């Protein structure tokens, strides 16, 4: 079953970054700013308009800034999409 119909258009543009060379990132990872609450992770994982979902290490409340957190958040977002589509 295709979510976007039988054919998806070819991308019009692709962007690649050099994370380790980015002067604003310098290989850093996401974190909550001072004064933020762990419950703020729940806000960034909410679906937008019920159609756009977010995942990644920066959305993992239990395992932030880790590959494990990124993997688990991806699985969680995928499960939400499956529930929506099926």
Question: Does the residue 59 lie in any domain?
Answer: yes
Question: Does the residue 15 lie in any domain?
Answer: no
Question: Does the residue 25 lie in any domain?
Answer: no
Determine the pLDDT at residue 75. 96
Number of domains in the chain: 1
Question: Does the residue 19 lie in any domain?
Answer: no
Q: Is the pLDDT of residue 7 over 70?
A: yes
| Tens-digit pLDDT profile for residues 14-73 | 888 787 788 887 777 788 889 999 899 889 899 999 889 999 999 999 999 899 999 999
Instruction: Tell me the β-bridge partners of 48.
Output: 52
Domain that holds residue 78: 30-85
Determine the pLDDT at residue 4. 62
Cβ neighbours, 10 Å, residue 78? 12
Of 7, 1, 3, residue with least CA distance to 81: 3
Q: Is the pLDDT of residue 1 over 60?
A: no
Q: What is the pTM of this model?
A: 0.66
Q: What is the DSSP string of 14-45?
A: -----GGG-TTTTT----PPTT--TTHHHHHT
């Amino acid at each position: 079953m295709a979510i976007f119909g039988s054919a998806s258009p070819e991308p019009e543009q692709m962007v690649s970054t050099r994370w380790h060379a980015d002067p604003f990132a310098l290989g850093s990872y996401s974190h909550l700013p001072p004064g933020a609450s762990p419950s703020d992770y729940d806000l960034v994982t909410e679906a937008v308009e019920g159609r756009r979902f977010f995942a990644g290490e920066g959305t993992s409340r239990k395992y932030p800034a880790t590959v494990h957190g990124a993997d688990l958040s991806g699985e969680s977002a995928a499960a939400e999409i499956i529930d929506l589509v099926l």
